[in-house]
Amino acid sequence: MYRKLVRMTRRSAFRPGSASEVPLTQDQTIKWLLDRSQRTNRTVPIRRAFVQDTEDGPVLQQKPGPLSQLMRHERALDLLLLMYAATSGGDFGVTERAETWGRASGASFKIDGSASAPVSRLWRKLEDLQLIERSFEGRFLKVTKLLEDGSGKAYTRPTGSENSRKDVYFQLPYQYWDDELHKKLRMPAKAVMLIGMSMRKAKFPIVPETYEKWYGISQASLRRGIDQLVEAQLLDEVDQEVFITGETATGLGTRTLYAFRPPYHLNVNKADRDGDGADGVGEQPSSEFPGTQPIFSQPSPVFPTLGGFARRPA
């Protein structure tokens, strides 16, 4: 009689529909991962080399970063950004169940052991790009962050030194997940968002015809990304800039300047914060717009520092 009662008690503790068998939602899982990271500033540092890398030599050369290889792998990017947020110290590794990453990335919500297959495909893509390395700890998978440039080198915390282009970084705020932009934005918008943040300017151009070469992303994707960010009210068209160029009969060209709305405007470099670089076009590659020179621009936009979004210019 006692043995029968024990067996019934054990079955009832894990019966279908009980709390232990109802998985967390995607949002709940993400919140748990972010809270556990214990980042006091609630931002994720990402080296600029992830979107555009450099090659040393007699003449500095820019080349597309690993981001360009993820344009057809949106869930892999989502998973990578979450892993970046979760690995905040130590050996920059994190150990979790496949089901946890499946829910967080939206790849799988199954709890019958089959979640590992779709999540493993995402990790494999990131591993092939040498952005992470994997090892097993029993039934759990340990994922360790590598340098964002895809070199396969061990990760080190970026210093932000302007003397080393490899150490220049930008920050992705946790608000990105709080606002559910990981679900609302499509891949072109996510790519343009990361590119724009990496420029670290109060206002900046996004020129699809030129940026296709520098960032390895098609002009069509860049244009879609801009439109999606403006529609989502992350990005505003704040100005137009006239510049000297050999590409037109008049020798002058015009390009739009964009600015992030708060809180996504946090990646402004010191020159712009101090007002010294307010009229520049950005910390862009030294080869950018060869033969061009900006000659006119309005002052940088002023956003409210507390609460809410700034209104879009009329």
Same domain, 190 and 144: no
Same domain, 52 and 157: yes
Q: Which of the listed residues 141, 166, 184 is the one where a domain comes to its end?
A: 184
Domain of 33, in residue numbers: 21-184
Q: Which two tokens mark 304?
A: 């409210």
**Per-chain mean pLDDT for the chain:** 82
Same domain, 170 and 244: no
Same domain, 48 and 149: yes
What whole-number distance in Å separates Cα of residue 136 and Cα of residue 189?
34
N-to-C CA span, the chain? 79
Mean pLDDT of 52-65: 79
pLDDT value of residue 308: 34
pLDDT value of residue 281: 37
pLDDT value of residue 163: 62
What whole-number distance in Å separates Cα of residue 265 and Cα of residue 234?
9
- β-pairing, 132-137 vs 293-296, is unpaired
Q: Which two tokens mark 81?
A: 């950004």
User: 116-155 pLDDT, tens per residue?
Assistant: 889 999 999 999 999 999 998 877 899 999 999 999 999 9
Structural domain includes residue 134? yes
Long-range contacts from 271-277, C-beta under 8 angstroms, 24+ separation: 272/200, 272/201, 272/202, 272/300, 277/201
Using pLDDT thresholds of 50, 70 and 90, give the confidence band for residue 205. very high
Which is more confidently placed, 30 or 9? 30
User: 243-272 pLDDT, tens per residue?
Assistant: 888 878 998 888 999 999 999 999 988 777
Q: Which of the listed residues 184, 199, 220 is the one where a domain comes to its end?
A: 184
Residue 70 reports pLDDT greater than 70: yes
Mean pLDDT of 8-32: 66
Same domain, 68 and 179: yes
Structural domain includes residue 70? yes
CB of 239 within 8 A of CB of 257?
yes
Q: Which of the listed residues 124, 157, 184 is the one where a domain comes to its end?
A: 184
Structural domain includes residue 302? yes
